[in-house]
């Protein structure tokens, strides 16, 4: 289990290919300090009214990052959306790890601010991407953050699913979102699924209590970890959330 944990946490083999880019979108590349290449996509607004807001998309660990960015682009056609494939998720190179994803989040933010000069930056984290977004909020001046099906600690999630294993001593991909939110005053929205069996409700409850600036909080009735994205109540909540965190 120690040797296989990276495959459980980062199932790169389970991520499907991306579809064609939306009209007007562009592919991006970004070099990491240790020589790996991150591949990403920028989707500009297709409707007016976004006021220069840029969404940084951080996908779930089994969701193609381009497809996640496309999903957010459909939800918010008046905003810029930018997303990068995680390290080790094709076509990005390297090996995935919590340390790599967290450090790459900072690199992506710095690149986006310099390249696009947005008036506002909102990080949207989905599942494991909430750990990346939370860490980013503790290190960079975000204007807002939306966390979908978030957790307090990746180690705590693993411990809940494998109580018979010595997770504390063997786990090496920790993302401590509680510690990150305690060090951040970024306006934060949390959207959870009522019947999420992957990120159990108690894991999200701990995170709620740690958030110093919880601007919006919603639980989607009847939703699980994956089907939440197909529900109209979730779509409504996402629009309410971005209004709440950007004022």
Contact 225, 198 (CB under 8 A): yes
Q: Which residues pair with 216 in a beta bridge?
A: 189
CA distances 119 to 31, 144, 169, Å, are 25, 12, 43
Task: Give, to the nearest 10 degrees, the angle between helix 65-75 and helix 232-246.
Answer: 80
Contact 213, 188 (CB under 8 A): yes
43 dihedral zone (left: phi>0; alpha: psi -120 to 50; beta): beta
Number of domains into which the chain is organized: 1
pLDDT at 164: 65
| Separation between Cα atoms, residue 180 and residue 154, nearest integer Å | 13
Give pLDDT tens digits for 137-159.
Answer: 999 999 999 999 999 998 888 77
Q: What 8-state DSSP symbol labels residue 10?
A: -
Give pLDDT tens digits for 149-187.
Answer: 999 998 888 776 666 665 676 777 788 999 999 989 999
Range of the domain at 35: 5-246
Query: pLDDT tens digits for the chain (247 residues)?
Result: 555 667 777 889 889 888 889 889 999 999 999 999 999 999 999 987 778 999 999 999 999 999 999 999 999 999 999 999 999 999 999 999 999 999 999 999 999 999 999 999 999 999 999 999 999 999 999 999 999 999 999 888 877 666 666 567 677 778 899 999 998 999 999 999 999 999 999 999 999 999 999 999 999 999 999 999 999 999 999 999 999 999 8
The CATH number assigned to the domain holding 175 equals: 3.40.50.1820
Strand positions, DSSP E, 92-195: 120-126, 144-148, 188-193
What is the pTM (predicted TM-score) of this model? Answer: 0.94
Please report how many Cα atoms fall inside a 13 Å half-sphere around the Cα of residue 186, on the Cβ side: 28
Contact 11, 63 (CB under 8 A): no
């Amino acid at each position: 289990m120690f040797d296989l944990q990276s495959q459980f946490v980062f199932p790169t083999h389970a991520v499907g290919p991306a579809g064609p880019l939306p009209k007007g979108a562009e592919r991006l590349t970004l070099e990491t300090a240790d020589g790996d290449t991150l591949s990403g996509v920028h989707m500009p607004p297709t409707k007016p009214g976004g006021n220069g807001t840029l969404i940084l998309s951080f996908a779930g660990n089994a969701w193609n990052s381009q497809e996640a960015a496309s999903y957010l682009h459909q939800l918010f056609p008046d905003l810029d959306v930018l997303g990068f494939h995680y390290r080790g998720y094709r076509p990005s190179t390297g090996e995935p790890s919590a340390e790599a994803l967290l450090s790459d989040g900072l690199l992506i933010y710095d690149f986006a601010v310099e390249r696009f000069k947005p008036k506002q930056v909102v990080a949207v984290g989905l599942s494991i991407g909430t750990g990346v977004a939370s860490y980013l909020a503790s290190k960079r001046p975000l204007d807002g953050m939306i966390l979908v099906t978030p957790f307090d600690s990746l180690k705590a999630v693993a411990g809940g699913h494998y109580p018979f294993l010595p997770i504390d001593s063997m786990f090496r991909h920790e993302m401590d979102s509680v510690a990150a939110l305690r060090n951040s005053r970024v306006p934060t929205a949390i959207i959870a699924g009522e019947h999420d069996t992957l990120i159990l409700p108690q894991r999200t409850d701990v995170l709620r209590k740690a958030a110093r600036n919880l601007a919006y909080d919603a639980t989607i009735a009847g939703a699980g970890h994956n089907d939440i994205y197909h529900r109209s109540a979730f779509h409504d909540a996402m629009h309410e959330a971005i209004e709440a965190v950007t004022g």
